[in-house]
Amino acid sequence: MLVYKFGGASVKDAKGVINLANIVKRNEGQQLLIVVSAMGKTTNALEKLTKAYFNQDGDIHDIFEDIKQYHYKIAQDLFGRNDDILIDLNNTFVEIDWMLEDDPHDDFDFIYDQIVSIGELAATRIVNAYLNHFGINSTWLDVRGYIHTDNSYREGVVDMDKSCAIIQKEIPAMLQKGVVVTQGFLGGTSENFTTTLGREGSDYTAAIFAACLGAKSVTTWKDVPGILNADPKLFSDTVKFDELTYNEAIEMTYYGASVIHPKTIKPLQNAGIPLWVKPFNDANGTGTIIKEKSDQKFTKPVIIVKSGQTLLSVSTKDYSFISEDHLSDIFRLFAKNHVHINMMQTSALSFTVCFNVYDERLAKLLADMKQNYRIKYNSGLTLYTMRHYQQSTLRDLVSDKTVLLEQTSRNTAQVVVR
């Protein structure tokens, strides 16, 4: 049994959906579960819609209409005039139409998950319909009934025991009948509200299904030839890794490598399931395999770039030392506001952290911090993380930038720059 995950770039248009069907066709006879992300830049557009609705901006319906028309156009390119798929899409979109008619809920994260989740639901409706149209027996599955989470909106915590129980009970029979198509990134609460698992969380969804079903492997299809040592959009001399260990992949994703969601590796490592990262536009490409052991040599450092960073320094109001009690309280406030730290450094009188954060969460964090601490912060910064670094390459990387914070260990260097 195999699990395939297709990202948004893979299904951004009708050509991409057709290519997906051809890849699936190559594996006829295999039990196959397919996890699909929102099409193209739909998640970004739905995030814009969410903010407009929450702030009650005037262009709410125009933004949503553009999103609808984008999906209608892909459906028309694939099927021509097909009332069945249009009905499915309209039934998907109507949930948001109803929501937009009411005043917004006061919890932004809750609104976010109810609106942004529509991207995956619409994408899988189209993909599932096309696979059947293409002659591949396919069943559409609402993942919200199978990935069970708590009420942590925008980063739902998965109840693995509950999720695996329902997956193992119902999915094998479905796979006997043909391909199963479901959504990445989404989960459901016990109250039947939608949650999301964090941006790019579709990889994590695929890993959960694979671990629960004992899959032979997971393949995530990307618009890159495999896992590279750096983002090819930022660096011209990248190299592809043929293989990586689970541990190296975890380190890379922890520091922000966007090719794989950070939570993806652990369920696969626990189950001993390899993860392939392969090029969507070259199904015969070798890609990269992530597994327990690897002979990969790092001839070039791994460079991870995270923009939009905030650097915040915290000190006590009475100028006392930053003690363990202070650090415990500071971490509590970060956890309370769901702000994840990418880098930290302690001195006698201050604690400095670097993080990427949603604007609305930053405001709440700052308000909480100011009650007991003095704070200073800068936003709009960039964090460079270099694995398997050399001092010369690190210096070259930041030579034309202002370094605000630097930290090195045996294998990893991190630098915050303006």
- Give dist(CA 69, CA 54) in Å, integer: 22
Mean pLDDT, rounded, for 214-227:
95
**pLDDT tens digits along 342-380:** 999 999 999 999 998 777 789 999 999 999 999 999 999
Percent of the chain topping pLDDT 90 = 90
Predicted local distance difference test score (pLDDT) of residue 62: 95
Helix 83-100 × helix 42-55 angle, to 10°: 30
What CATH number has the domain spanning 302-417? 3.30.2130.10
H/E stretch holding 217 reads strand 217-222
Per the model's pLDDT, the better-predicted residue between 260 and 358 turns out to be 260
Is 377 within 8 Å of 310 (Cβ atoms)?
A: yes
pLDDT band at 86 (very low <50, low <70, confident <90, very high): very high
Section 283-302 average pLDDT: 94
Highest mean pLDDT among 46-60, 167-181, 192-206: 167-181
Q: Any idea where the domains of the chain sit in the sequence?
A: 2-291, 302-417
Task: Give mean pLDDT, residues 140-152.
Answer: 98
**What pLDDT, on a 0 to 100 scale, did the predictor assign at position 257?**
85
Cα separation of 28 and 33, whole Å? 12
pLDDT above 80: residue 45: yes
Q: Which CATH superfamily is domain 2-291 in?
A: Acetylglutamate kinase-like (3.40.1160.10)
Could you tell me which residues are beta bridge partners of residue 218?
Answer: 3, 275
DSSP class of residue 187 equals E
The pLDDT of residue 357:
79
* Matching residue, tokens 């670094």: 389
CB 178, CB 136: distance < 8 Å: yes
Q: Is the pLDDT of residue 289 over 90?
A: yes
Structure confidence by residue, pLDDT tens digits, 9-35? 999 999 999 999 999 999 888 999 999
Question: Which pLDDT band holds residue 112 (cuts at 50, 70, 90)?
Answer: very high
What is the DSSP pairing of strand 194-196 with strand 179-183?
Answer: unpaired
Half-sphere exposure of 164 (CA within 13 A, CB side): 13
Residue 177: other Cβ atoms inside 10 A: 11
Task: Please tell me the predicted confidence (pLDDT) of residue 54.
Answer: 95
pLDDT of 124 > 90? The answer is yes
Is the separation of the CB atoms in 416 and 309 below 8 Å? yes
Cα→Cα distances 58→51, 62, 63, Å:
11, 9, 10
- Round to whole Å and give the CA distance between 413 and 418: 17
State the chain's mean pLDDT as an integer.
95
Q: Specify the pLDDT at position 370.
A: 96
Provide the 3-class DSSP secondary structure of residue 316.
strand
Environment class of residue 307 by beta-carbon count within 10 Å: exposed (0-12), middle (13-18) or buried (19+)? exposed
pLDDT of residue 358: 77
146 pLDDT tier (thresholds 50, 70, 90): very high
* Res 226: pLDDT: 95
How many CB atoms are closer than 10 A to CB 387?
18
Neighbours of 408 (CB within 10 A): 13
Residues in the chain: 418
Q: What is the pLDDT of residue 29?
A: 85
Q: What is the pLDDT of residue 58?
A: 77
DSSP string, 218-272: EEEEESSSS-BSS-TTT-SS--B-SEEEHHHHHHHHHTT-TTS-TTSHHHHHHHT
Q: Is the pLDDT of residue 148 over 90?
A: yes
- Between 198 and 49, where is the model more confident? 49
**pLDDT recorded at residue 261:** 86
